[in-house]
């Protein structure tokens, strides 16, 4: 190798070294600026969620997802700047996302349901509800599952995806509930007097609301006699106390007033030849 060739190779080395050095410096600059922008985006998202009073758990998970996703995109962009084919990385990333989504479909559905429950708040801790066929008091609304304490004191855990996908009945939202009960009368009883008596006695039960007034009406008829619908109103916290007290009043008030006991009866015709 003569002096001319050595000089040419030296120039090429300096040229490519300079270009590579510039790319390295640019990549470092891109990384620093990109990380700063990702931090700013995370701060803006967190501020927006705080203004909307989103639950802290949701904010933490969303912040992590956004941070990881933007960092992956930043790395792919830097690799592309160096001329490395990033389509393979993108395909692998998409395939991994699909595989994880299929494997964790139920978990992701519960996660999405939890986010909606926390943001929309159809139920909250302390509410008495019926969700996904389970009735009880809400003890916790988690990100993946919620805890319901049933009236027989059994703690029941339900996936949030199932809760949000089915009907939600929240008994604590409205100011009062209606207690639906029945009173069977004898066909020989004075139904008007019985209805007036029950309206008076049931209205005197503790925690029964004066407004709306107690409903006592004829609901239906059967072979024994008329069936009365007895419907007092109360706050949901006193539902079972009013329920049992009303049943007791129906039994004792009608008996004390001398109303005949309802007895099933059948008329038999005997045809003697």
Domains of the chain, first to last: 3-103 (1.10.287.1260), 122-170 (2.30.30.60), 177-256 (3.30.70.100)
Closest by CA to 179, choosing from 136, 224, 209, is 209
CA distance 35 to 70: 9
Q: What is the pLDDT of residues 183-220, one digit of tens each?
A: 999 999 999 999 999 999 999 999 999 999 999 999 99
Q: How confident is the model at residue 104 (pLDDT cuts 50, 70, 90)?
A: low
- Phi first, then psi, for residue 181 (nearest 5°) are -135, 165
State mean pLDDT over 61-89: 71
User: What pLDDT is stored for residue 194 in this prediction?
Assistant: 96
Does position 157 have pLDDT exceeding 90, yes or no?
yes
| Nearest CA-CA partner of 259 in 231, 228, 222, 223 | 228
User: Residue 246 has what pLDDT?
Assistant: 97
Please tell me the predicted confidence (pLDDT) of residue 176: 94
First to last CA, the chain: 142
**Of 43-57, 87-101, 145-159, highest mean pLDDT:** 145-159
Query: What is residue 243's predicted lDDT score, i.e. its pLDDT?
Result: 97
Least confident among 141-145, 162-166, 195-199: 141-145
pTM (two decimals): 0.60
Please give the Cα distance from 19 to 217 (Å, whole number). Answer: 93
Task: Tell me what pLDDT residue 190 has.
Answer: 94
CB 165 within 8 A of CB 113: yes
pLDDT > 90? residue 106:
no
Q: Specify the DSSP class assigned to residue 236.
A: G
User: Six-digit token pair at 185?
Assistant: 């009368």
Q: What is the per-residue pLDDT for 36? A: 87
Q: What is the mean pLDDT of residues 220-230?
A: 94
What integer pLDDT is reported at residue 48 of this predicted model? 77
Give percent of the chain with pLDDT exceeding 70.
77
What are the tens digits of pLDDT across the range 32-69?
Answer: 888 888 888 878 877 877 776 666 656 666 677 777 77
Q: What is the pLDDT of residue 80?
A: 72
What angle separates helix 239-256 from helix 191-203, to the nearest 10 degrees? 140
């Amino acid at each position: 190798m003569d002096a001319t060739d050595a000089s040419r190779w030296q120039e090429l080395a300096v040229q490519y070294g300079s270009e590579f050095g510039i790319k390295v410096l640019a990549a470092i600059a891109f990384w620093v600026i990109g990380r700063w922008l990702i931090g700013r985006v995370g701060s803006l998202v967190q501020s927006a969620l705080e203004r909307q009073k989103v639950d802290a758990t949701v904010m933490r998970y969303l912040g992590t997802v956004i941070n990881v996703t933007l960092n992956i995109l930043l790395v792919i962009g830097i690799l592309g700047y160096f001329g490395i084919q990033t389509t393979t990385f993108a395909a692998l990333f998409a395939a991994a996302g699909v595989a994880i989504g299929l494997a964790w479909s139920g978990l992701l559905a519960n996660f999405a349901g939890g986010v909606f429950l926390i943001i929309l708040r159809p139920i909250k801790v302390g509410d008495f509800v019926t969700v996904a066929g389970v009735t009880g008091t809400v003890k916790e609304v988690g990100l993946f599952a919620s805890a319901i304490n049933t009236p027989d004191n059994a703690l029941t855990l339900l996936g949030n995806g199932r809760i949000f996908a089915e009907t939600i009945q929240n008994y604590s939202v409205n100011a009062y509930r209606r207690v639906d009960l029945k009173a069977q009368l004898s066909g020989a009883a004075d139904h008007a007097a019985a209805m007036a008596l029950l309206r008076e006695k049931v209205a005197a039960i503790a925690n029964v609301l004066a407004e709306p007034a107690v409903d006592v009406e004829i609901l239906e008829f059967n072979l024994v006699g008329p069936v009365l619908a007895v419907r007092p109103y109360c706050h949901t916290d006193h539902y079972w106390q009013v329920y049992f007290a009303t049943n007791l009043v129906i039994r004792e008030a009608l008996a004390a007033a001398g109303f005949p006991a309802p007895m099933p009866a059948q008329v038999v015709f005997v045809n003697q030849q």
